[in-house]
């Protein structure tokens, strides 16, 4: 095939792909008002914005988090933007505790009977060099407990409520760290990788019940997660490599749209998509790794002072 002809085909394919994406974005969202939606980690950040968004849409909501004061404040904000169909319930709980996960599912059963959408958003981050962590692995265990086992435990408790009718959804708020390496976040990245392996496999197992699983992979979002990150050893200055973080509200809108479209893996910026796709490819993967190392260069250099 002549190069000019190949270029024409490629150009046409790109235009068609772009038009298809635009049409998908503009298409009417698949949303039933009064859907029952359970949101974990609703007391802050992305979870609180998702709560407000689904409140506006008229969902029957069950919100959970550990901090009841903040949870109630979010519920009050949801009530301000709610429509006539909206219902808002809260249930305080620490999802690393099996008894609290059971109680959350009990509350959902009591209020809704069945669950249309379970949003597993609660999570914590870290900000530590691996070399500064203790040998008892406590930091890594706490990340896995919250980011991985709590999600798996919730899936277990909600299994019957989700399978009660066809087309229920699980939305897992993972991260680009579930696909790519992130500096000073070995344990966080590992916990999110684990989430991908588990929920990609669960999608397969629960497909006979038509349960859709969307794994959302935001990049850096402006929330308090960096302040609450677990850390050990040397005191560190918390930094994000991004100058401009995406707002939690915008991230919540992106996630909701991806869920409406039943996206399997939702990645929100073109740069993140390219990096995610290319990371495992021979050759291109090293370009992505170089880009990531460049992004964190200032932090790496300052961490290395006095260590080499």
Ligand X SMILES: NC(=O)c1ccc[n+]([C@@H]2O[C@H](COP(=O)([O-])OP(=O)(O)OC[C@H]3O[C@@H](n4cnc5c(N)ncnc54)[C@H](OP(=O)(O)O)[C@@H]3O)[C@@H](O)[C@H]2O)c1
Q: Confirm or reject binding of residue 37 to ligand X (CB under 6 A).
A: no
Q: According to CB under 6 A, which one of 62, 78, 108, 173 is a site residue for ligand X? A: 173
Residue 228 CB, nearest approach to ligand X (Å): 5
Q: Confirm or reject binding of residue 35 to ligand X (CB under 6 A).
A: no
Nearer to ligand X, 245 or 278 (CB): 245
Binding-residue total with ligand X (CB under 6 A): 28
Residue 155 CB, nearest approach to ligand X (Å): 15
Task: Please indicate whether residue 183 is annotated as part of the active site.
Answer: no
Dist CA 154 CA 120 (whole Å):
8
Q: Confirm or reject binding of residue 124 to ligand X (CB under 6 A).
A: yes
Q: Confirm or reject binding of residue 220 to ligand X (CB under 6 A).
A: yes
Q: Confirm or reject binding of residue 153 to ligand X (CB under 6 A).
A: no
Give the residues across from 157 on adjacent strands: none
Q: According to CB under 6 A, which one of 50, 78, 225, 275 is a site residue for ligand X? A: 225
Q: Confirm or reject binding of residue 211 to ligand X (CB under 6 A).
A: no
Q: Which two tokens stand for residue 195?
A: 């989430």
Residue 67 CB, nearest approach to ligand X (Å): 3
Query: How many other C-beta atoms lie within 10 A of the C-beta of residue 134?
Result: 10
Q: Confirm or reject binding of residue 187 to ligand X (CB under 6 A).
A: no
| Residue list 228-257, contact with ligand X (CB under 6 A) | 228
Q: According to CB under 6 A, which one of 95, 143, 154, 179 is a site residue for ligand X? A: 95
Residue 123 CB, nearest approach to ligand X (Å): 2
Q: Confirm or reject binding of residue 44 to ligand X (CB under 6 A).
A: yes
Question: Where do we find the tokens 């609180």?
Answer: 48
| Residue list 48-77, contact with ligand X (CB under 6 A) | 65-67, 70
Contact 32, 116 (CB under 8 A): yes
Q: 199-208: b or e for each residue (b if 16 or more CB lie within 10 Å)?
A: beebbeebee
Nearer to ligand X, 152 or 164 (CB): 152
Q: Confirm or reject binding of residue 90 to ligand X (CB under 6 A).
A: no
Residues binding ligand X (CB under 6 A):
40-41, 43-47, 65-67, 70, 94-96, 121-124, 146, 173, 175, 218, 220-221, 223-225, 228
Catalytic site positions: 188
């Amino acid at each position: 095939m002549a190069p000019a002809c190949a270029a024409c085909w490629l150009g046409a394919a790109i235009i068609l792909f772009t038009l298809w994406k635009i049409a998908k974005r503009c298409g009417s969202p698949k949303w039933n008002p009064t859907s029952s939606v359970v949101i974990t980690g609703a007391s802050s950040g992305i979870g609180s914005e998702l709560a407000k968004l689904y409140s506006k849409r008229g969902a029957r909501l069950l919100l959970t988090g550990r901090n009841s004061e903040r949870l109630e404040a979010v519920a009050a904000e949801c009530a301000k933007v709610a429509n006539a169909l909206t219902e808002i319930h809260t249930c305080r709980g620490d999802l690393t505790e099996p008894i609290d996960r059971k109680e959350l599912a009990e509350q959902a059963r009591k209020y809704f009977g069945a669950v249309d959408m379970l949003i597993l958003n609660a999570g914590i981050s870290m900000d530590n060099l691996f070399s500064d962590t203790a040998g008892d692995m406590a930091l890594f265990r706490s990340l896995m407990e919250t980011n991985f086992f709590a999600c798996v435990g919730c899936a277990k408790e909600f299994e019957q409520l989700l399978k009660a009718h066809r087309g229920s959804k699980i939305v897992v708020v993972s991260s680009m760290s579930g696909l790519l390496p992130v500096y000073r976040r070995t344990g966080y990245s590992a916990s999110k990788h684990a989430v991908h392996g588990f929920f990609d496999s669960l999608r397969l197992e629960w497909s006979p019940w038509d349960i859709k699983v969307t794994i959302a992979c935001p990049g850096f979002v402006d929330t308090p997660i960096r302040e609450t990150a677990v850390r050990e050893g040397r005191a560190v200055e918390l930094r994000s490599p991004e100058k401009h973080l995406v707002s939690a509200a915008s991230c919540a809108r992106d996630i909701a749209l991806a869920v409406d479209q039943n996206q399997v893996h939702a990645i929100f910026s073109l740069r993140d998509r390219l990096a995610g796709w290319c990371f495992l490819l021979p050759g291109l993967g090293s370009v992505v790794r170089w880009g990531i190392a460049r992004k964190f260069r200032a932090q790496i250099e300052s961490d290395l002072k006095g260590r080499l």
